Amino acid sequence: MKVRDIRVEMTTGVALWKRLSFLVALPAVGLCMANAYLSHHHHERPEFVAYEHLRLRTKKFPWGDGNHSLFHNSHVNALPDGYEEDH
């Protein structure tokens, strides 16, 4: 192959992937975002059951009071003795 043939082949491949990105990938991401936004429902929090094998604390966490994980969310995550607040 000559250098000119390789360049033509490369530019057609680049153009193809550029068109695919703008015409297929971006609309697909937009549709996924719209689906996630429109189908979001508020889920009820399940009743707390104190299973022995869950939420074990062999030592305290090195931050805060030692009982909350680093990304603790009081609405979703339970402590070993139950949820922090009624939702």
Q: What is the pLDDT of residues 75-86, one digit of tens each?
A: 888 888 889 876
* Residue 64, both tokens: 């805060």
Report the alpha-carbon distance of residue 73 to residue 16 in Å, rounded. Answer: 45
pLDDT, tens digit (0-9, with 9 covering 90-100), for 38-68? 988 888 888 999 888 888 888 999 998 988 9
Sign for the pseudo-dihedral over CA of 17, 20, 23, 26: negative
pLDDT at residue 1 greater than cutoff 70: no
pTM recorded for the entire structure: 0.50
Nearby residues of 29 by Cβ (< 8 Å), 6 or more positions away: none
